[in-house]
Amino acid sequence: MKREDTIDTLRFIKDLLAKKLRNSLSLKLIFAIGSLILVASAVFWIAIVMRGEEQLINSSVMHAKGYNLILERSVKTNMLLGQTDVIQKMLEEIGASGTFRAVRIYSHPEGEVKFASNREDLRMQLKKGTASCRICHSGNSPADLEWTIQEDTQRFLRLSKAIYYENSCSIRCHYHPPHKKLIGILETDYPLSPLDRMIKEQKIATLTFGVILTFLSSVVLCIILWKIIIRPIMLLTDAMERVSKGDMDHRVNIDTKDEMGMLARRFNEMVEELKTARQRLENWAKELEEEVRKKTEEIRKGQEQMIHTEKLASLGRMAAGVAHELNSPLTGIVTFAHLMLKRLPPDDRMNREDLEVIIEQAERCSKIIKGLLGFSRALPAQKQKVDINATISQVLDMIKNQAKFHNVKIKTELAPDLPEIEGDPSQLQQVYMNLLINAADAMNDRGEVKICTRLVREDEKEYIEIEFTDTGPGIPEEHLNKIFEPFFTTKPVGKGTGLGLSVSHGIVRKHGGYMTVKSTPGRGTSFFIRLPVPKEETTTT
Ligand code: ADP
């Protein structure tokens, strides 16, 4: 790989890490705590190394002091014995042993080297300001011992020790004035290279140990962070993403008792509630959809009904026009046929029979025309106060002498004290008549008809209900929704016009009421007429 490529790759990784660090909480946490551990452990291990170095030097000083004491004693002994050449020889031998780097004995107060492990040092003058100088010239009382660490090509420990006169000196040979106490200074240099090697090795060991320990503790910390914070957060984030995409069955599986566990449990509860609310909404939507579908169907049926009604209305208007035009010529035909019948001799039976057929057929036409006019509301209604029970009784009086009703038993159950209603009594009687003729036709003029009246309440409004129940064969179910249509009839040609019920329904509607039918085939039919009671007539209950 070329150098430029390597640089590009490294730059990409750096950018990626910087981006990740900026965006990821986990990486931020690891970076922050890792940096903290690194700094803290660096300070800790540096302190340990420094303390170890100090202790090693202290122990070296202690050992050096011991050597110095032995050296001082043997120098003094040789001085008392007057064996100065032995001292010089002893120092040279010590210097050659390698334990000491250099040994020098300075005279006091001249400051001149009298004995030395290196012969070149003899008669060398003590330099001002050095540790050995400070023993006597520190400003305070003379110090017994001074040590310093110095460096030329290598580090070394310099110990400077004062050598004092003793009583035995003056007893033996060396008289010295009482004020003169100091013989000289013993200066010993110990090499520190073994110690430095040891410190270096200790530093490397401590550093290695520190790096390993820091690395291991960082790894352990990362694992702990991963387990207790990062992983739960990732699980929660993932769950939130899945739930937001519509997966309402997904739950977070954290069963710890800490805050993360609590958060997961709350989250799961929240999703459960969301799911329930969503299901409720979906159910509402379905119910609404069903309701809309039903209403649409009702509207569609209503529209069909409206079109049908519109068709019937135009048919009615057309029928009314035709009926009106036909009514006058038909009246003329019937009148003149009657006149001709009167003029014919009684024995002209053939012509009389023909004329009677003309009159009968013309009257039938007239009846149909009247029905058509009624259907189209061409006949105006005469509104007045009507006693329903009275109108029924009058109709019953009218039919009791008719042959058609001779074998029809009519029962009445008329509620007393019914309120009066607003209406046209002759039109209402026409309705009753139609229903009675239909009942008699259905029962082949033989059976029972029951007429009941009652006061009923519906939607806070009062109605008078009139029921006509016969014991006829009933109406087949498929005919029930057609019988109120004009021209629907099951009667033979020439007998039924199919206008009776539609005209009757029209009259009842004109009175603000409505008609219904109930029929069980084989067991009879019941027609119900409901007429509204005017407000002032309404009984307070
Ligand atoms: P029409 O009497 O001229 O047939 P209507 O409109 O009065 O016309 O009646 C329509 C149809 O309703 C009748 O042809 C008959 O089939 C049915 N119908 C009416 N009343 C009854 C009843 N009481 N029992 C059985 N069918 C009836």
CATH of the domain at 403: 3.30.565.10
CB 2 within 8 A of CB 210: no
3-class secondary structure per residue, 196-257? HHHHHHHHHHHHHHHHHHHHHHHHHHHHHHHHHHHHHHHHHHHHHHHHHCCCCCCCCCCCCC
User: Which CATH number do you get for residue 192?
Assistant: 3.30.450.20
Domain termination site, one of 142, 171, 197: 197
pTM: 0.42
Domain encompassing residue 444:
381-540
Spatial distance between the Cα atoms of 65 and 87, rounded to a whole number of angstroms: 19
Contacts of residue 455, defined as CB under 8 A and 6 or more positions apart, other chains included, come to: 415, 418, 419, 462, 463, 464, 465, 533, 539
Whether residue 2 is contained in a domain is answered as: no
Residue in 470, 480, 484, 489 to alter for ligand 1 test, most ligand atoms within 8 A of Cβ: 489
Whether residue 293 is contained in a domain is answered as: no
Domain termination site, one of 170, 197, 224: 197
Calculate how far, in angstroms, residue 477's C-alpha sits from the geometric centre of ligand 1: 13
Tokens of 219: 């790894």
CB of 41 within 6 A of ligand 1: the answer is: no
Whether residue 215 is contained in a domain is answered as: no
CB of 491 within 6 A of ligand 1: the answer is: yes
CB of 434 within 6 A of ligand 1: the answer is: yes
CB of 67 within 6 A of ligand 1: the answer is: no
- For the chain, 541 residues long, give each residue's pLDDT as a single digit of tens: 556 666 666 676 666 556 655 666 667 777 788 788 888 888 988 898 888 888 988 998 898 888 888 888 888 888 877 788 888 999 898 888 888 889 999 887 788 898 999 888 888 887 777 776 676 666 555 567 788 888 888 889 988 888 887 666 555 555 555 566 777 888 899 888 888 888 888 888 888 888 888 888 878 887 888 888 878 888 888 888 898 888 888 888 888 888 888 888 999 999 999 999 999 999 999 999 999 999 999 888 878 767 766 676 677 677 777 777 888 888 899 899 999 989 999 898 899 999 999 998 888 788 777 766 765 654 555 688 999 999 999 989 888 878 889 999 999 999 998 999 999 888 898 899 999 999 999 999 999 999 999 999 998 899 999 999 999 999 999 999 899 988 888 988 767 778 889 889 988 998 999 999 999 999 999 999 999 999 876 655 4
Calculate how far, in angstroms, residue 407's C-alpha sits from the geometric centre of ligand 1: 19
Strand, helix or coil at 6? helix
CB of 501 within 6 A of ligand 1: the answer is: yes
CB of 490 within 6 A of ligand 1: the answer is: yes
Whether residue 148 is contained in a domain is answered as: yes
Whether residue 79 is contained in a domain is answered as: yes
Whether residue 536 is contained in a domain is answered as: yes
Nearest residue (CA) to ligand 1, atom 19: 438
Residues 306, 308, 311, 316, CA torsion sign: negative
Number of folded domains that form the chain: 2
Domain termination site, one of 138, 172, 197: 197
Using alpha carbons only, give the angle 429, 433, 436 rounded to the nearest 5 degrees: 140
CB of 475 within 6 A of ligand 1: the answer is: yes
Residues 11, 12, 13, 14, CA torsion sign: positive
Q: DSSP of 423-461, one letter per residue? A: E-HHHHHHHHHHHHHHHHHHTTT-EEEEEEEEEEEETTE
Block residue for tokens 């064996």: 83
| Cis amide linkage into residue 346, ω under 30° from 0 | no
Which atom number of ligand 1 is nearest to the Cα of residue 496? 3
